[in-house]
Amino acid sequence: QVQLQESGPGLVKPSQTLSLTCTVSGASITTDSDYWSWIRRSPEKGREWMGAISSGGKTWFNPSLRSRTSIALDTSKNRFTLDLYTVTPEDTAVYYCAGGGGFGPQFFDYAYWGQGTQVTVSS
């Protein structure tokens, strides 16, 4: 059974960097999915695809977030990470990692989803 688990701080101050980790169990991030994504959901914006990374390390980003987002693989620990720089209260959302399938702004039909983690940006 494939399981994804997000981890990271629940509270981040404005202008700081939000760093999240998605640990994958029951599957290899280099062989069992071509792409791994980060998605977030907020009452104001709804569901928003943030970016994806291929099993080979190539990345794609939502144009609205490209300038302040980074995604990386950590193959030694079978996980992938998200860094969102210079956060504001508008980045407050539930953040999800996902994999198994495609990716992109309109794609949400992933085979695997994490349970989500609430992140609040506030001073």
Beta strands in the chain (DSSP E): 3-7, 11-12, 18-25, 35-42, 46-54, 59-61, 69-74, 79-84, 93-99, 112-113, 117-121
Q: What is the pLDDT of residue 36?
A: 96
What is the overall mean pLDDT for the chain? Answer: 95
Q: What is the pLDDT of residue 112?
A: 94
Q: Is 32's pLDDT higher than 90? A: no
